[in-house]
Amino acid sequence: MKVSPSISPFNHENDLTGPIEISPQIWWVGHLLENDPFQCHVYLIENGDRSILIDPGSKLTWPHSREKIRRILPLEHIKYIVCQHPDPDITSGIEDLLAEIGTEGRQLVTHWRSAELLEHYDWGLDFYEVQAENWELVAGDRRIKFIFTPYMHFPGAICTYDVQTEILFSSDIFGAVTENFSLFATDEKSYFQAMIPFHTHYMPATEIVNHGLDNIEKYPLSLIAPQHGSIIKKAFIPFLIKELRNLKCGIYLEYGGTRKIELISKINAIMPEVFEAAAFFDSFHRDTQHILKIMQKVFPISRILALVLIDNSYFIKLDSDNDTVVPCNRRKEDILNKFSETFYKQKRLVMGSEIIECIRFDTPKKLYLFPIRNYKKKVTGIGMFALDPAFETSEEILNMLRKFEIAVDVIAKREVEVYRLENEKKKVYTMAITDQLTGLYNRYYLEETGEAELARAKRHAYPVAVLYLDIDYFKKINDRYGHDIGDRILKHFATLISGHLRKGDLAFRLGGEEFMVLMPYTNRSDALKIAKRLQAIVKERGVIDTAEGEVSFTFSGGVTDTDECGYDLQTMLKRADEKLYAAKAAGRNRIVA
């Protein structure tokens, strides 16, 4: 006589030491193994002397399942034993069951691929191969369908569907790894998080998962009873199927068979965020700051750096801690040779900063090194992850860190291109505003910056002086000694002017032998003193050696300021030019203010 359990259905907080009726005549008869996050469930379809036992369990759980079943029906009433796949956690208990009730009149229900393996146990059972029986089992009034879900995880994997209750016994699908066991899932989102490590590691590919889900969704579902994890109520099913379809599976293939399932599942979860950060390039600093925060969910990483060779001549340092691109003056050979010694001997980790002297850390770090390549795949730099020195550095961990190299490599390449473009712009701009012979600013830049400086001076009420200079008798020098000597004198005079200027003064070559100095925070009297000091310097050093002997030169100048002319550049230039010609008319080699 059946003894009904005193436990009410659909109450996951009930005592799991007894059977639980999860739907009319559908029983959970599993056993909770202590400290096991990978619980294996056993289900019984109560059907008189044609009862069906699904995934009977292992030698660890069978004694407990046996007692629960006996509280529902005699063991001899079990006619069909369903094995949805051949793993020991669901099959090794069968031997003990058969030893008690015998094999006569009983059938082992499975796919032919599983049958080929299970027959090696030599239990003496008849096989009921579902593919040969139109994927169904009719047991009296009970009709059971079987759903083919190949390679989830076994080639001949199947799920079992009870047509009467619309319950899916899903085998490994919808299973979860849970630290705190609950017979029924209590929250769809948290349960899916528990499903992620199991599915990403256990299922070989997303395409295979979706193929299995396509077959499952052909049936209406009221409940899902997986072999592992928790039983799933109807309300949670659409969400879990949708999320499961988008889950990247097969990551076990990428990590060398590691047992660190939870860790690689976390890595798998953050990888899309990392590559999204790399895809929408902003700058190395901002992008790696973002990546750093993502990686810190998994690794004790504090900094991301790169040293990248520019134009085969010098390195730039890119740093998640610093938004400034910094040139590194270490010799190229020193850096690349040190990197080669470390990297190509398969020692990707070094302590501290001894690998590169231009990288400094406040506290000791382990550096994980990897190559940065240009668009031609040539190694042109070094990427670095700065890790806590106590961090485990096994080969498994290194394999996991390698997954993040590509994102940083992409960002570094883009930053280098931006840096080169900016440098080219600077070079072009510098050429546009600079006199090529003397290196002083040209008239174009005077017009660009002069008006701005005077407007600022007017706003803040400080004086600005202009010093207009012209080399005396320059045409005669050119005619007698040639333009090469004339050019040398122009360059030498420009050098004397630059060396004599104060910080904030701007020197220009306006054309020919004409020069001008814009002097903020300076009145005419002070500008005259500066001009006279320059005159004394030219008198002492204004000479160059030629094949015909020494050639010396002098200059004349005119000085004005904003007190005299107002804050108008053209007015000041005109007034300073008038004073320059007055100096020349008075005999040259003199300053008029």
Per the model's pLDDT, the better-predicted residue between 561 and 154 turns out to be 561
First CA to last CA distance, the chain? 125
Q: What is the 3-state secondary structure (H, E, C) of 373-392?
A: ECCCCCEEEEEEEEECCCCC
Query: Tens of pLDDT along 213-242?
Result: 999 999 999 999 999 999 999 999 999 999
Q: Note the pTM of the prediction, 2 decimals.
A: 0.56
Whether residue 2 is predicted with pLDDT greater than 50 in this model: the reply is no
Whether residue 550 is predicted with pLDDT greater than 80 in this model: the reply is yes
Residue by residue, DSSP assigns 350-379 as EETTTT-TT---SS--EEEEEEEE-TTS-E
Confidence band for 557, pLDDT divided at 50, 70 and 90: very high
Delineate the domains of the chain, giving CATH numbers in brackets. Answer: 20-253 (3.60.15.10), 261-422 (3.30.450.40), 443-592 (3.30.70.270)
Which pLDDT value is given to residue 519? 95
Q: Which of 18-22, 398-402, 531-535 has the least mean pLDDT?
A: 398-402
Query: Tens of pLDDT along 164-211?
Result: 999 999 999 999 887 788 899 999 999 998 898 888 877 888 899 999
| Spatial distance between the Cα atoms of 366 and 397, rounded to a whole number of angstroms | 13
Length of the chain: 593
Compute the average pLDDT of residues 82-92: 93
Whether residue 346 is predicted with pLDDT greater than 60 in this model: the reply is no
The most confident of 262-266, 425-429, 530-534, by mean pLDDT: 530-534
Compute the average pLDDT of residues 86-99: 94
Q: Which of 1-5, 101-105, 315-319, 338-342 has the least mean pLDDT?
A: 1-5
CB distance 114 to 155 below 8 Å: no
| Spatial distance between the Cα atoms of 236 and 220, rounded to a whole number of angstroms | 14
Confidence band for 358, pLDDT divided at 50, 70 and 90: low
Return mean pLDDT, the chain: 88
Compute the average pLDDT of residues 528-536: 95
Structure-block tokens of residue 230: 């928790």
**Residue % of the chain over a pLDDT of 70:** 90
Compute the average pLDDT of residues 380-389: 88
Which residues of 76-214 form beta strands (DSSP E)?
Answer: 78-82, 107-110, 126-129, 136-139, 142-148, 158-162, 167-171
Structure-block tokens of residue 90: 């669901």
> Taking the CB of residue 482, how many other CB atoms lie within 10 A of it?
12
SS3 assignment, position 320: coil
Side by side, which strands form the sheet with 51-54? 20-23, 26-28, 43-45, 51-54, 78-82, 107-110, 126-129
Q: Which of 74, 13, 72, 1 is nearest to 43 (CA)?
A: 72
Which pLDDT value is given to residue 11? 42
Query: Tens of pLDDT along 404-452?
Result: 888 999 899 888 888 888 878 877 877 888 999 999 999 999 988 999 9
